[in-house]
Every structure is written in structure tokens, then in C-alpha cells.
Chain A
Amino acid sequence: MSTSTPQGSTPSNGPTPSSTTPEGGTSNGEAPRAGNGGTPRGRRRFSGHRAEGGRRVELGDVLLEVEGLKKHFPMRTKGIIRRPTDPVKAVDGISFTLRKGETLGVVGESGCGKSTAGRTVLQLLEPTAGTIRYQGRDITGLKGGDLRRLRTEMQMVFQDPYGSLNPRQSVGAIIGAPFAIQGIEPTGGVRSAVQGLMQRVGLNPEHYNRYPHEFSGGQRQRIGIARAIALRPSLIVCDEPVSALDVSIQAQVVNLLEDVQNEFDLTYIFVAHDLSVVRHISDRVAVMYLGKIMEVADRDELYANPLHPYTQALLSAVPLPDPRKEHKRSRILLTGDLPSPVNPPSGCVFHTRCPRYKKELDDTQRERCVSEVPVQTSHGPDHEVACHFAGPASLDVM
């Protein structure tokens, strides 16, 4: 996928035009997205079709809408009388829309709330505030049987392939667990269904009775993927699924995730800190900092034209495997550490480390950063930035 994909030129196995609603993502009052592929830079728009190495995938209707989602963890003082204190604001009001078949990458430093966001969307953690609508239905705060039934639609792939598989269960039991929990009897029996899944993710079905410790890290991650796709869900939250793996194995797992996405028409929320992997796999990317979304845009737009100073700093910090290019780049170094999410800075949470705040703004402008919380505003088609002074970087970050 390198340049634009004119919407008219879909291949024979492409979608029927009537099945797409290009403006479908605007129902919750976001800025309207471009309905056609004719952007100034001629890049692909996600609202059309995704094209990858000749492969084109239809992106459908809105699957998930998240509005003002918050997750605060209550804290208590130390000592004998444990009085409640200010909570940890792990996720503090995020909103996004996800279309069927799309991959939303969520990036940010550790502690920015990206994993918590993924888990809260799946209701593995109970949201403190906000609404989550899945296929138009409000699923916030579902409990018991309703929540369990919803789990057939939403699954998760975890980061640590060592910690997320029960060492005392055989692989067959692990991958078959979703059937048992949901009380589903697949046609042909659980065993053959599980072996089919094992085959699909590139494991030897004869290893049905083996235990997790007999598998390598990459193979364990395949087990986790097989378990996640067992019930044919629509949405999978992948929480750092490849960050524990070596590069060559990482590439195998990334390709597998893409293959099963195409085959089963999956929608992904791909949480990761590796900006290269996220660029590769995502259609859109959201950048988080201290529980808030700083910038969300189409993948290529975000990497080519980052407008938030935090995104710019993040991109410029990644070393490129290209020494000549690397030696010519300039780096925006952030100083200091991430502030505490218990007591985040006022106004824009990033202002305490913001290079633009420090170097480019005058006092009146700074006052605004300190006192007023920036909201996500549209800066071009499918590009939203939460910054009062959004704009291109003064240096070439890539």
C-alpha cells in the first residue's frame, strides 16, 4: 500500500459499493471524514478500502463507539487508617470510533493508560464513566450472563505468552476453554475444532495434549491467538502481542494476526509501544499520554504529518535502522519523567514536558496551556489533535 487507492477501482473480489457507508463514522458528532480518496497527498483514506500489496479489504460500518471513557483506580493512604485519597486516573476521558474490519493502533509510553483503555473497552475492568456502544448497543456496565454472552464477540490477546496461559492445562484445554465456558458445542466436537484452530495458527495439531512450557514464545503467542479466535469474535484487543518476541518471530506473529483478520473479518485494537509495528499493522493510530488521547489520525497521515508536539517527540525518539538517515535526523528530547496520574498537570496534561510550550509559545499562550484542557479538534480529514497550538514540527522528525 503505497499511494492512493481510488475507490472506483476495486478488484473483482472487492466489495459491492452499496455495502459501504463512507460517512458511517460520524454519527457521534465527530468532524466529518473525507468520503472519497482524493486527499491532497493522494494517500489512502481508511473510510474507503484498505489496500495492502494488492489486497484490498472493505471497511464497514461502525462497530464500536467509545465516548468519554474513564477508568480511575481508587487509592488509599498508607498506614493503619487507610483513608481514600485521589484516584489514579489511568484513563481519563477518551473517545474514539472503530469500524468493522479496521485496526486501531494505540501507542504511548508505559503508564499512559493504553492497556487499561483496552481492558476497559472489553469490560475486563469496570469503567468509571463514559459509554461504550457495540454495534449501536450500550454495553457499559453489563454484568453476569449478558456480559458473558458478549464475550463471544470480544476477545483479547495478551502480551506475556508465559503469564497468560495456565501452565497446568494442556494446549487443547486452553484453546477449548472458550467453548466450555460459553457452553458451545462446535460441529464435529471440541477436539476437532481446537485442532482446526491449531492448524490455522500454524501449530501442529498433534501437539493437542502438550503443555505451554513445551512451546517457544512465538508458539505460545499462537496459542493465545487460537484461543482468541475460537468463538469467531468480531473484536480483538491485542495488548502488546509481539513485544516479548524476537524480531524474526515477531514478523511471523504480525503476519498471522493480519491473516486471521482477513479470514475472519476481525476488528483490532492493537495496543503497543513499538511505533514501527503499529505503523505496519494499523489503519488508524491513536497516541495516548496520561490517560488522554493526544492525537488520532490515519496511519500514514499521523507518521508523515504529526501535529501534536508529543507525537512529534515520540516519533523523533525512535531510532531508525538506517545509519545514514539516522545521523541526519534531529531528535526532540523530552526532559523529565511522566507526571503522576494521581495528580496530573492542570490544563493540557503534556504542558510540563512540552517542547513547544517551553520554546515556541509566549506567556499568554502558555497561560492557555496551563488553564484550559484542550479538546480533540479536527485538523484535516480523519485527523484529530488535542492541542491548543497544534502544528507541524519545526524539525524534521522522521
Chain B
Amino acid sequence: MSTDVSAERAAGSTGAGTLLSVRDLKVHFPTEDGLVHAVDGLSFELRQGEILGIVGESGSGKSVTSQAIMGLYRGTRARLSGIIELDGVDLLTLSDEELRKRRGSDIAMVFQDPLSALHPYYTVGNQIIEGYLVHHDASKQEARARTIEMLDRVGIPNPAQRVDQYPHEFSGGMRQRAMIAMALINNPRLIIADEPTTALDVTVQAQILELLVSLQQEHSSSIIIITHDLGVVAEMADQIMVMYAGMAAERGDADTLFYHPEHPYTWGLLSSMPRMDRLRLERLRPIRGNPPSLISRPKGCPFHPRCDHRDDERWACNSVTPEFDASLPHPVRCSIDPEERRRIFEEEVRPTL
């Protein structure tokens, strides 16, 4: 069964209006060791019908961002500030009741680990039906019919029987399909998929990604897909944001990020990945060192301790924190002069990729 994913994707970013606007989002967690700056001044916009890929290593703040958008830090000790606007309404200032109405119907989330995100005590069907009834004035029979229809749509065989089974009776791929069915039952306009395929095999991952894209096309919803796999964003995303230490390092359309990246961290990610489609030429080029502590972030550019270009004194990498102008089409948080960055990439980095 072969399908050409590329053709149907060409029309990916047709929507024009801004759906989601995040401005100067900060999420800080007070801990015994100090204040963890998990997300620190993040700004981005997402248009209707667009797929945004957020890439970064563990601890870069990508999942915290998505959970902040979903309002999952309410009632916790986390300190949030900034603006998260969905359709012009700031989600951070909504009442709990108001937010609950939007959560599930306007924004839905697909979690990484479907076994812990699904409740083991209730049947898969009941969990999806509940999500539908919360937002619709419908009878249980209608909700059940709609659930079976949705399970069928996400490719679960025998949905009429499967609807009454428990999560443990589903395989990993089917659980993730059930999660997607649950997320999409109310036709949300924004789907946040947090590492939706990380726990799955590549063959199942291919099925799930294709399913997500085709459902997204059907409803012209927007997707934020969070992943550490550059292959997944290359396949799915229209826009890509690279995060490092709770901040955006670089953002741009997929073509720009893969073929004209300007941030040394993005270069590092690309060159440390082994490539399946190429003959091996030499050793991998890892990024040196480890990700920084989010309690005491390095002075200056947060990436400078691991950067190969930190020693050029013209840029003062270790003292000046570079700006990130989110209104540009291709913002880069790097102090190196843009001309110089492009030169370094073309002359030093591209030949090694």
C-alpha cells in the first residue's frame, strides 16, 4: 500500500488568518534549588491551517510550551506570564470555566505516551464519548455513533467492537490512533501533538503521521508538532522553530531551516544526525558539552558554551544576550553578523552536512 504524501501536502499552508499568537511567554517553576526558567520569553504565531514543528532537545522547553498553551499549569506552582492568544482571546486570563469550554473543542492535545494518557479503568469508547458529550448537547447514542465513526476514520479495524475495549487491549499504534480520535472528535482548530510518534516503530509512525496530515487537511486545522526528530518535521511542518534552553533559537519555513539555517545550534543538530540516505563519509560531529542548567542559564548567548564560533570577540557571545525579533520571517538568536553567519554556513558547515 503505497501513498504519495507529497502531493496532498503541497496545499499545506493556505490558511491566512492568525489562529494562535504567543507573545513573551514565560513559564518558571520555583524549586528547592532555585527558579527553573523552563520557557523564557517565547513569541511565535501560527496561522490557520499551518503546521508548526517545534524541535529541541530534552529540557529545551518545547513540551512546557505546549502544556502552557493547553492551560495545564493552572493550579500548580508554575509562574506564567505573557500572552497566549487564540482567535484574539488571551487564554491566560480566561476563567477556568471559560478555558474548559475551549480545551478539547478549540484546542486538543495528542500526548506522547498513550498508555499513561488513556485511563486504564474506562473503555476507550467511554473516554472518547465523554469528550464529545462535554462539548455537545447530544444523546449518548449519538455520541457513541460519532465515536465509532471517528475510530473508523483513524483506521481502527472493527470499530464497533473496539469501542468497548480497554486501552490495554489495544496495540501501541492503535492506542495512539485512539488518542488522535479523542483529540479530533470535536474538530478542534488547533491540535498540539507532543512527540506523538516517539514511542512507536517507524512503520507505525509513518501511518500515524500520514493520518495526522490527512485529518488536518480535512478540517483545515492547525497543528503544533513537538519532536526531537528532524525527519518528522521535514515531512510534516510548514514552519519550524528550534528551541534551546527555554528560548527560540531560530524560526523559519521548513526549506529555510533545512537548507539555509543560520543558528550554530541548528547546524549542530543537522550535523550530529546520521543520515540513512547517504554513504557514510566520516565521523559524526556532535555538539560539544551538555545542555545548560535552566536555573542559572549561561551569561550572554545561552548556547555560547557549546558553540564553535564563540571565540570571535567581535560578537561578544559570552556577555551580550542576542535578540530574537519574532516579527521577522526568519529570526535567529545569534550575535554573529548575518552576512558572516551565511558565509560560515556556506563555506564551513554545508560541506560537512
Q: Which residues from chain A sit less than 8 Å from chain B, CB to CB?
A: 1-3, 52-53, 109-110, 216, 218-219, 246-252, 254-255, 258, 273, 275-277, 279-281, 300, 303, 313-338, 355, 358, 395, 398
Contacts and interface: CB of A to CB of B under 8 A. Distances in A.
Nearest to A2: B279
Interface in B283-323: 283-287, 290-291
A358 B1 contact: yes
Which are the 9 A-B pairs with shortest beta-carbon distances? A319-B231, A251-B286, A53-B282, A280-B274, A251-B272, A248-B287, A321-B230, A327-B6, A251-B284
A338 B202 CA distance: 13
Given A320-B277, A332-B1, A337 B174 contact: yes
A212 B207 CA distance: 38
B115 to A, nearest CB: 13
Contact of B234 (A52, A247, A254, A321): A321
B283 A255 contact: yes
Given A331-B210, A333-B207, A247 B282 contact: no
A255 B232 contact: no
A139 to B, nearest CB: 32
B268 interface: yes
A218 B291 CA distance: 11
B203 interface: yes
B74 interface: no
B280 A247 contact: no
A319 B255 contact: no
A194 to B, nearest CB: 22
B162 to A, nearest CB: 13
Contact of A52 (B3, B57, B210, B283): B283
Contact of B273 (A321, A333, A335): A321
A313 B206 CA distance: 10
Chain B, interface size category, equals 35 or more
B298 to A, nearest CB: 16
Nearest to A256: B286
Interface in B81-109: none
Contacts of B203: 109, 313-314, 317, 333-334
A317 B205 contact: yes
Contacts, number: 167
Interface string B1-43: 1111110011000000000000000000000000000000000
Contact of B285 (A2, A109, A251, A314): A251
Contacts of A247: 57, 228, 230, 269, 272-273
A319 B207 contact: no
Contact of B276 (A110, A275, A327): A275
Contacts of A300: 279
Given A273-B202, A333-B207, A318 B276 contact: yes
B234 A323 contact: yes
Contact of B280 (A248, A280, A333): A280
A314 B280 contact: no
* B172, B204, B284, most chain A CB atoms within 10 A: B284
B223 interface: no
Given A321-B230, A325-B277, A333-B2, A248 B283 contact: no
B97 to A, nearest CB: 39
B341 to A, nearest CB: 20
A302 B171 CA distance: 29
A255 B2 contact: no
B206 A331 contact: yes
Contacts of A333: 1-3, 203, 206-207, 210
Interface string B160-190: 0000000000011110000000000000000
A251 B288 CA distance: 10
B260 to A, nearest CB: 12
Interface string B236-277: 000000000000000000110011000000001110111111
B326 interface: no
A94 B234 CA distance: 36
B45 interface: no
A318 B197 CA distance: 12
A313 B255 CA distance: 26
B273 A319 contact: no
Contact of B2 (A315, A323, A330): A330
B133 interface: no
A276 B275 CA distance: 5
B283 A258 contact: yes
Contacts of B4: 330-331
A2 B282 CA distance: 9
Contacts of B277: 303, 320, 322, 325, 398
B201 A254 contact: no
A255 B284 contact: yes
Given A276-B275, A355-B2, A319 B210 contact: no
Nearest to A280: B274
A52 B2 CA distance: 35
Contacts of B3: 330-331, 333
17 contacts: A52-B283, A109-B204, A246-B58, A247-B272, A248-B272, A275-B276, A277-B274, A319-B229, A320-B234, A320-B235, A322-B277, A330-B4, A331-B3, A331-B4, A332-B2, A338-B171, A358-B1
